[in-house]
Structure 1
């Protein structure tokens, strides 16, 4: 079980190191006055620091190595 968790953490950590964020589009209402509605598409960005992926990657390696010793 620990080997599986370690491998999952390694994969997630590598993905977070390579892919440091994503952007999505959200439709927001600007004006809503009775029958008149004006909306706009706004781009939102979600970013995380690259060291977060490194920490998760190292944690996965530690879990994988310690599971082999048992």
Structure 2
């Protein structure tokens, strides 16, 4: 039961984090030009959006897991 409660709380925290940070960015380095031993590179930033529905599903799933853990206590 304790593991289910911890899992439920973790799901709710992850859902809240997804709702708070709806996108994340990362940087990659790409070769633009290469002539012999000389290369030109560029850093590009990519942004990935996370739909709010994912956050709400995580929160709802966490609430269901907590409810199951509390109601199935014997």
TM-score after normalising by structure 2: 0.88
Query: Which of 29, 37, 40 lines up with 1:38 in the alignment?
Result: 40
- Name the counterpart of 1:29: 31
* Runs of 4+ residues over 6 Å off in structure 1: none
Q: Secondary structure at the match of 2:32?
A: strand
For the aligned residue pairs, the C-alpha RMSD in angstroms reads: 0.8
Q: Secondary structure at the match of 1:28?
A: strand
TM-score after normalising by structure 1: 0.93
> How much does 1:32 deviate?
1.7
Gap regions ≥5 residues in structure 2:
none
